[in-house]
Amino acid sequence: MEYILETNGLTKVYGQKEAARDVNLHIREGQIYGLIGRNGAGKTTIMRMISGLSTPTRGSYSLFGKTGFEMEKMLKYVGVLIEHPGLYPRLSAYENLKIKCLAMGIQPKGYVEQLLELIGLENTERNKPAGAFSLGMRQRLGIGLALVGNPKIIILDEPINGLDPQGIVEVRKTLVKLRDEQGITIMISSHILDELSKVADTYGIINEGTLLDEFSADELHKRSGQFALIRVSDSAKALQALRGLGITKAEIEPDGAIRVSERLDDTAAMTKAIVQAGIDLKEIYLNAISLEDYYLGVTGGGKHHG
């Protein structure tokens, strides 16, 4: 099974409006998949369909390689946090989790304590009501509720939206911990692209209901990130000259340009080495594109939030 979750032409129509159109997502096991798009782009619609909360108008999806009736039985392994977590504000974190456990028939000893530790709320005062929590703590408790029943994949819609910097860091650490220590696959939507770029392994860009692009973090780094691009009369010879400086992260692109991904503050030494090797230097420039820049390029610019 290559993908834990895969969609095939997933489409949702409300009246005359296509909220999602022919979406083909591919989510690998044990990864964090970041779904990027402005509000109203179709992120929540897609997440509701693959969580079993909404029925697709057309298309299908598979979970753990299963489709149809077999797949419906696998929905119990999907944890969901869409919109705001449904917390009981007068009850503590422990009591909120305990109620969800009882509702799902889960009563092993110490289970709630394990969940609290997993989401970093084990040291919260035992009787402090959830209504008195910071937003970040509430979001982490919401993630905890999504984890009840030991899901293999959790789907989180805008979990860092509206959080202060401290809350964002707390939620980010929680997500990385779930992936790295528990092997849980996470699908997360966000329009805070700088934060998403710190945790996601794979990205999907959604705009006006259509999936425009899907790429790994490595591919993003190749397409964006920081690098120096050098155009010369003899690329192979210039590459040798750069190797002589101890530069190893350099490669010749299909168009003949040399792409260097290290020692970017040392372009003067690169220039000198190339010229001294008797090679004509046509161009050398630094390139730095963020995930946000890349997203705006793919979607045709405009505001990415709101």
How far apart, in whole angstroms, are the C-alpha atoms of residue 124 and residue 146? 19
How far apart, in whole angstroms, are the C-alpha atoms of residue 189 and residue 47? 9
Mean per-residue pLDDT of the chain:
90
The sign of the dihedral angle between the CA atoms of 198, 44, 12, 74 is: positive
Would you state the pLDDT for residue 1? 63
Confidence check: pLDDT of 306 > 60: no
Confidence check: pLDDT of 128 > 60: yes
Would you state the pLDDT for residue 35? 96
Would you state the pLDDT for residue 295? 86
**DSSP letter assigned to residue 42:** S
Would you state the pLDDT for residue 291? 83
Measured CA to CA in angstroms, residue 95 lies from 83, 116, 119, 273 at distances of 21, 11, 15, 67
How far apart, in whole angstroms, are the C-alpha atoms of residue 295 and residue 300? 8
Do 27 and 78 contact (CB within 8 A), yes or no?
A: no
Which residues, in sequence order, are CB contacts of 87 under 8 Å at separation 6+?
A: 96, 130, 131, 138, 141, 142, 145
Residue 6: strand pairing partners: 26, 62
How far apart, in whole angstroms, are the C-alpha atoms of residue 110 and residue 37? 39
Residue indicated by tokens 């509702």 = 103
How far apart, in whole angstroms, are the C-alpha atoms of residue 297 and residue 193? 14
Output the 3-class SS for 7-32. Answer: EEEEEEEECCEEEEEEECCEECCCCE
Would you state the pLDDT for residue 101? 94
At 183, is the secondary structure helix, strand, or coil? coil
| 63-95 pLDDT, tens digit each | 999 988 898 889 999 999 987 778 999 999 999
Would you state the pLDDT for residue 95? 95
- Could you tell me the domains of the chain? 5-220 (3.40.50.300), 225-289 (3.30.70.100)
Which residues, in sequence order, are CB contacts of 168 under 8 Å at separation 6+?
A: 136, 160, 192, 195
Confidence check: pLDDT of 24 > 80: yes
Stretch 241-261: mean pLDDT: 92
Sheet strands (E) in 131-224? 153-157, 185-190, 202-207, 210-216
| 204-214 pLDDT, tens digit each | 999 999 999 99
Confidence check: pLDDT of 14 > 60: yes
How far apart, in whole angstroms, are the C-alpha atoms of residue 285 and residue 42? 38
